[in-house]
Structure formats: C-alpha cells, structure tokens
C-alpha cells in the first residue's frame, strides 16, 4: 500500500507541471512522475499556414521566450526559401537576441530561481518571490533589476517592433533596420547591461558562494547527474546563442558529436510515455535507457550549464574570465551539479551583454540592406537557436506556395524533460525520508530541483498549458487518508 504525494502545480516556472510522488509503506520514495498536463497542438494547426507566419504564430508558444521561437522560425523559413539574409539582418537579429537574453536571464535569476537562494528555501511562502527579493536586497537593487529588464525589452522593441512577440523577422531578413540614433541608445544601454551583469555576479558571490549552506547544497550529490550536455558553438567552439553548430559532449566532457542543425533528426529522437502529454528527447545513437544517467543513457540536457560544458569557452573577454573562474571553483569540466546552472546563467548574462555591445558598435548594423527577397522555390528547412532553456529546433516542410505541410518542434525545455524528472526523483528520495514531515520547505526543495533548469512549460506544452491543484494526499499503510494538503497554482 503506497502513499501518494502530488505536487500540483509547480509554481514559479513559466507554464505548468505536476509531480506525483509515490512512497512505499516504509515512507521511502518508491517512484516519482513528473507530468505535463496539456497540449496545444501547434504541430497540427500550423499546417496550412504560410511559412512566413511561423515567426508570428510560434511566438505564441511561449511569451517568456517568444524571441527564441521568432528567431528559430525565421531561420527555418529562410532555409525553406533557400535564402541567406544579408549580414546586417543577421546581426540585427542576434543583437535583438542578445538583449533578450539579458532580460530573460535577469528575470529568471531575480524572479524565478533566485528567491530560493536569496530568501532561502525555508523562507515563508509569501516572501519567496520577486517582491520578497526586492524587499530583502533593497529597492535600489530592485530598481536595477527592473531597469535591466526594461533595457532589454527596449532593444527587442526597437528591432523586433514589439516588446513581447516581435514581428519583424521575415524570410530573407527583417522588415526594418535601425537608425544611428537608435544605435547610440542601444549601445549606451548595452554598456550599462555589462555593468549590471557584473554586479549580478558580484551579488551571487556574496549571497550564494559566500554562504556555506548554499555551496554545500550546490556541490552536494542531491542535485547531481552525469549526463550528456548539448549546446550551440561557433567556429571556435565558443558559446553562441543565435547561430552555429550543435555540439554534444559526453559525461566526461569529451566531444560526442558536432552536427549542422539540418541534421538534427539523425541525432535526436523523442521517447513517449502514456502518462504525460510531453515527449522525452534523447540522443538517438546512444539510445533510450530510461530515467538514468551515465554514458550508456541517451539522456542529455540543454541548459546554460550544458552550453558551458559543451563549449571550449566564451567569445567575449569578461565572460571568458568568469568561465574560467567557474570551472576552477567547481573543480574542472564538466560540471554536473545542477544548481550550478544559476551561476552559469549569470556568466551567459555577462556574455549576452558584451555581445550586445559588440553588435551595437558594428559598422554594418545601421545599413539599410536588411532584407534579401527570396527567389527560390520553397521546400523544407530547419532553424535552430539556443533558447535560454535549451536548444530550440523548428523544422518545416511546405508546398510550392510556401504553405506548411509538416511541422516538427523540439523546444528548449523539452530537451530537459528526462533530466528534470531524474532530478526530481533524486531530490524527492533524499528529502522525503520515513518520518520526515512533509513541509512546504521540503516540497520547495523538490521544486528547486527543476526550477534550476528554469523550465518553461509554456514552451514545452506548445504541446499544452493549464494548471491544477497541488494536492498532497497522505495515506497510511491501510490506505486510510490521514491528511490532505491542497494548493492551487
């Protein structure tokens, strides 16, 4: 007779999720099931739409990282029309994308993942949120956070037309460029963003690395998995968010494979379970061995940490310094401790800010040559970018009018579905022991396991979002319900 705990839904992730924890009669964790409860069906209803609409339609898969879908869709559409956008177009897109990264990583660190550290996992629920953070670290810093998000969104709007769900990318480039005045403004904001990123790393040093309890938490075994790591790299094998080749390293940090985005289907497959609406991607040529880690299991993850593990370094100087400090502090590559993602994320934040400045000062950036009119017959194309939450793949097939006949999407968070499930299982097993009273704190520690991944199930459920009550039913060995805890949202 088992006892069941349902954490439903998991809060402070973008989207929805539900965790089922089964305890055996000794009160030990028998198994955990991390379920994704909805499916929206983009792969189905995008069929029949003209491909140039995909950057607009797939935006709506996720309002947290619409820029990522916008870019992946735009690149896939370029590929469908066999058109190579002019350099200015590519640079503008990457500039938008870098600014977006600053905003997104800031949001996650300060609003979503941060509270666990800043406030501490056992802090009262009511304070474990961004407002709590602001109250603790002070309004002045809260102001900085807000300003950082604002700056990023301002750039997104300048180039993308809108703050959320940008609209300017079309096959062959963009519908508009930027003026010199805008460029100046963007540059100024960029330089400020670099400072902000450095400030955030400093804050992390003080609050987290300075706090032994947290460091133990990070380095402890609980949040550690030896999996494959995926990330996109440029010609020098340095991290790149917008373009490049996909590189995968094995649990020992050695390059396992490096391929062009268009070859993704030869390397990635998706496993199906009947108890969830989301699929589990894995490395096809390693194979699906279940929810286990190690070199024999095709399970991989695609997160800031994995991008750092999969690359040889960062393409910008300041970020490169942090990169080196990161690995020296955590004992060399690859780093398997999931909670280190938060640190890795801040390093990416710094890189994004630096890249922002580089592009904003590129002489070509204000050129009016931001669109190449497609001339080829549309056929098929794949577009890949590094979404903050993992490698994002859009794959389209169209008829001769450029109307979609087939759509396949492998979304950032989805890549991490298996590892997240594993982290949850591990965390649950170690925090829920016989006799341990189920407290908010414990549940939150379990949630921390995946919150570290910054999972976005708005994205993942491009297949389905929605929310359900968190319901913890505890039954005794005879199956009598002794307690029911309910939590909504």
CB of 343 to other proteins, least distance (A): 23
CB of 232 to other proteins, least distance (A): 18
**Token pair for 159:** 């180039």
**Closer residue to other proteins, CB minimum distance, 50 or 313:** 50
**Closer residue to other proteins, CB minimum distance, 131 or 482:** 131
CB of 335 to other proteins, least distance (A): 28
Ranges of H-type helices in 231-340: 264-267, 304-310, 317-330
CB of 471 to other proteins, least distance (A): 8
DSSP string covering 57-116: HGGGG-SSSHHHHHHHHHHHHHHHTT----HHHHHHHHHHHHHHHHHHHHHIIIIISHHH
| Paired strand residues for 394 | 383, 409
| Paired strand residues for 249 | 229, 255
For residue 206, the 8-state DSSP code is I
CA distance 51 to 48: 9
Give CA angle at 236 (235, 241), nearest 5°: 70
CB of 163 to other proteins, least distance (A): 6
CB of 486 to other proteins, least distance (A): 5
**Closer residue to other proteins, CB minimum distance, 361 or 369:** 369
**Closer residue to other proteins, CB minimum distance, 122 or 321:** 122
CB of 478 to other proteins, least distance (A): 15
**Token pair for 60:** 């709506």
**Closer residue to other proteins, CB minimum distance, 258 or 284:** 284
Q: How many CA atoms lie within 13 A of 56 on its CB side?
A: 12
Contact in structure between 169 and 51 (CB atoms under 8 Å): no
CB of 169 to other proteins, least distance (A): 9
CB of 372 to other proteins, least distance (A): 9
CA distance 259 to 261: 6
For the chain, how many residues are written? 489
**Closer residue to other proteins, CB minimum distance, 6 or 238:** 6
**Closer residue to other proteins, CB minimum distance, 218 or 407:** 407
**Token pair for 363:** 């002489």
Ranges of H-type helices in 205-340: 212-219, 264-267, 304-310, 317-330
CA distance 438 to 364: 59
Bridge-based pairing of strands 300-301 and 228-233 is parallel
CB of 447 to other proteins, least distance (A): 9
| Paired strand residues for 174 | 169
CA distance 238 to 471: 45
Cβ neighbours of residue 386 closer than 8 Å, sequence gap 6 or more = 231, 232, 239, 240, 241, 242, 302, 307, 392
């Amino acid at each position: 007779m088992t006892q069941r705990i349902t954490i439903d839904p998991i809060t402070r992730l973008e989207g929805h999720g539900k965790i089922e924890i089964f305890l055996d009669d000794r009160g030990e964790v028998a198994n955990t099931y991390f379920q994704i409860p909805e499916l929206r069906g983009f792969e189905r209803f995008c069929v029949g739409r003209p491909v140039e609409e995909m950057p607009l339609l797939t935006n709506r898969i996720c309002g947290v990282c619409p820029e990522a879908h916008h870019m992946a869709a735009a690149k896939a559409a370029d590929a469908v029309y066999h058109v190579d956008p002019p350099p200015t177009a590519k640079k503008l897109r990457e500039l938008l994308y870098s600014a977006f990264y600053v905003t997104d990583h800031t949001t996650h660190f300060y609003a979503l993942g941060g509270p666990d550290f800043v406030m501490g996992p056992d802090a009262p629920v009511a304070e474990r949120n961004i407002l709590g953070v602001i109250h603790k670290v002070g309004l002045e810093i809260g102001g900085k956070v807000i300003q950082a998000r604002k700056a990023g969104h301002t750039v997104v709007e300048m180039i993308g037309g809108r703050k959320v769900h940008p609209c300017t990318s079309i096959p062959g480039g963009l519908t508009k460029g930027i003026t010199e005045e805008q460029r100046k403004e963007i540059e100024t904001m960029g330089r400020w963003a670099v400072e902000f990123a450095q400030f955030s790393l400093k804050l992390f040093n003080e609050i987290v690395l300075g706090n032994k309890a947290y460091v133990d938490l990070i380095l402890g075994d609980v949040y550690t998995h030896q999996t494959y790591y995926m990330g996109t790299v440029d010609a020098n094998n340095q991290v790149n968010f917008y373009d490049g080749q996909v590189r995968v390293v094995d649990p020992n940090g050695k390059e396992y494979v490096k391929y062009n985005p268009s070859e993704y289907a030869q390397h990635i497959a998706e496993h199906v379970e009947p108890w969830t609406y989301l699929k589990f991607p894995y490395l096809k040529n390693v194979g699906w061995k279940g929810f286990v880690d190690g070199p024999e299991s095709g399970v991989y993850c695609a997160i800031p940490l994995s991008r750092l593990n999969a690359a040889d370094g960062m393409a910008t100087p300041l970020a490169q310094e942090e990169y080196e400090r990161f690995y020296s502090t955590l004992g060399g590559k690859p780093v398997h401790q999931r909670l280190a993602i938060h640190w890795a994320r801040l390093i990416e934040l710094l890189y994004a800010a630096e890249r922002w400045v580089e592009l904003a000062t590129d002489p070509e950036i204000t050129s009016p040559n931001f669109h190449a009119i497609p001339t080829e017959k549309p056929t098929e194309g794949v577009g890949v970018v590094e979404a903050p939450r993992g490698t994002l793949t859009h794959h389209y097939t169209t008829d001769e009018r450029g109307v979609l006949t087939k759509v396949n999407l492998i979304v950032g968070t989805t890549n991490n579905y298996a590892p997240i499930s594993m982290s949850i299982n591990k965390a649950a097993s170690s925090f829920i022991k016989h006799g341990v009273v189920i407290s908010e704190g414990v549940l939150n520690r379990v949630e921390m396991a995946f919150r570290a991944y910054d999972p976005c199930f708005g994205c993942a459920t491009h297949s389905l979002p929605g929310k359900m009550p968190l319901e913890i039913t505890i039954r005794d060995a005879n199956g009598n319900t002794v307690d029911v805890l309910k939590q909504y949202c």
